[in-house]
Amino acid sequence: MIQQVAKNSVVTLDYHVTDPDGEVVDEGREALVYLHGGYDDIFPKIEEALQGKGVGESVQVKLQPDEAFGEYDAQLVQIEPRKDFPKELQVGMQFEGGPEDGGEDDFVIYRVTDVTDDKVVLDGNHPLAGQALVFTCTVTAIRAASTEEVEHGHVHGQGGHEHDED
């Protein structure tokens, strides 16, 4: 059994996230399970802080916007004609779209942030873009990743990614 967080280990964390003033951003109701070792399953600064930690150990990491969900990008805000959207439209709904000059892989999730009689405001920024965050977590479990998990670059099974078997 692995005793410390290391490359190619599957790590389970109890966590919560606040803003720098202590306001809760994410209560972390469900454990976070990720593949450790540079697979982009978790922010690099948090992964760095967890390296070598054991079960029961905690870390607190302050993330600047560029280390978390990025800076707020005003260019990702779009105003579209209301007539282009379904009748039942509410603030908070999400749509997938692509930038006008982007390629196939450049899809962005847009959130509806305002609806008027003739316009809809869409924001492609992550809701936490532009915010500094404080991530506090405790390691609750560590196990060796399977060969398949390492090959795929993510956790499978409980708390992880499922593949459809055809």
> What mean pLDDT is reported for the chain?
89
**Chain segment 4-55, per-residue pLDDT in tens:** 999 999 999 999 999 999 999 999 999 999 999 999 889 999 999 999 999 9
Classify 9-69+129-152 by CATH class.
alpha beta
**Chain segment 83-95, per-residue pLDDT in tens:** 999 888 999 999 8
Enter the CATH code of domain 74-123: 2.40.10.330
- Secondary structure, 3-state, the chain: CCCECCCCEEEEEEEEEECCCCCEEECCCCCEEEEECCCCCCCHHHHHHHCCCECCCEEEEEECHHHCCCCCCHHHEEEEEHHHCCCCCCCCCEEEECCCCCCCCCCEEEEEEEECCCEEEEECCCCCCCCCEEEEEEEEEEEECCHHHHHHCCCECCCCECCCCC
Q: What is the pTM of this model?
A: 0.78
All CATH 2.40.10.330 domain ranges in the chain, comma separated: 74-123
